[in-house]
Amino acid sequence: MRVDIISIFPEYFAPLDVSLIGKARERGILDVHLHQLRDRAHDVHRTVDDTPYGGGPGMVMKPEPWGEAIDAVLATDPAVQPRIVVPTPSGVPFTQRLAMEYASEPWLLFTPARYEGIDSRVMAEYGSRMRVDEVGIGDYVLAGGEVAVLVMIEAVGRLLPGVLGNVRSAVDDSFAPGAMENLLEGPVYTKPPEWRGHEVPEILLSGHHGKIARWRRDEALRRTAKNRPELLAALDPESLDKHDRQI
């Protein structure tokens, strides 16, 4: 998968050099290209923003630098069109399903902006010829789109074949489709069996895989009911067995 990111803060994406995503890049699974938007602003101050038409607070990012920057990315492979992902507080929610959809795309172009956002004519310009998604992460206020792009690249990158050592861990994720879909993960434990007087639940040392699976599902149901009751309410009743309903 190829990923291009246009930003006035390319240094925000240094975390993409480390850990899981960094290794995926080293192994050629992920090909990330960073672009400095200000390189496409040709006045002496490399201006990328201006006051909003119609008045109001803040500044709006000018269309010309974005147009030139996006055109330059598209020109690197004219035969293919990337899916453009525009982080915005007013976007559709980024979900695990959207992450899975993006993981099947050959090329993503992220346009994390600042200020009050990008002049809307930019999305109109490219939206007429390719997929342009306006996407937000969570219901909280950020200062710009860069962190949203980091979140999305990590969520998408870990789904790419060969990135996660253990295929099971992606399938068993919270929110991943499948047996535990939309249940939060339960507690996890490792050695030592006793730590500061706290013991590992006996069942996990029993070697009885059926009972362990049952215990884990019970704990996932309990944690989901406690922390995200709306996820439990949204579950298909058919997916809950008699035992589940007693939890």
Ligand X SMILES: N#Cc1c(N)n[nH]c1-c1ccc2c(Cl)cn(Cc3cccnc3)c2c1
Cβ at position 38, least distance to ligand X in Å: 15
Cβ at position 134, least distance to ligand X in Å: 9
217 is catalytic: no
Q: Which residues bind ligand X (CB under 6 A)?
A: 87-89, 113-114, 116-117, 136-138, 140-145, 148
Q: Which is nearer to ligand X, 74 or 113 (CB)?
A: 113
Residue of 133, 146, 173, 219 with catalytic role: 173
Cβ at position 6, least distance to ligand X in Å: 12
Cβ distance 116 to 59 under 8 Å? Answer: yes
158 is catalytic: yes
Q: Which is nearer to ligand X, 10 or 144 (CB)?
A: 144
Asked whether the bond before 78 is cis by omega within 30 degrees of 0, the reply is no
Across the chain, the runs of DSSP E, i.e. the strands, are 2-7, 31-36, 49-50, 60-61, 83-93, 107-110, 132-136, 194-195, 198-199
65 is catalytic: no
Q: Which is nearer to ligand X, 114 or 217 (CB)?
A: 114
Residue of 116, 125, 172, 181 with catalytic role: 116
Sequence-distant (6+) residues with CB within 8 A of 107 are: 1, 2, 3, 4, 77, 80, 81, 82, 83
223 is catalytic: no
Cβ distance 182 to 234 under 8 Å? Answer: yes
Q: Which is nearer to ligand X, 138 or 177 (CB)?
A: 138
Residue of 10, 52, 63, 89 with catalytic role: 89
Cβ at position 61, least distance to ligand X in Å: 7
Strand 194-195 and strand 198-199: pairing? antiparallel
Provide the annotated active-site residues: 89, 116, 158, 173
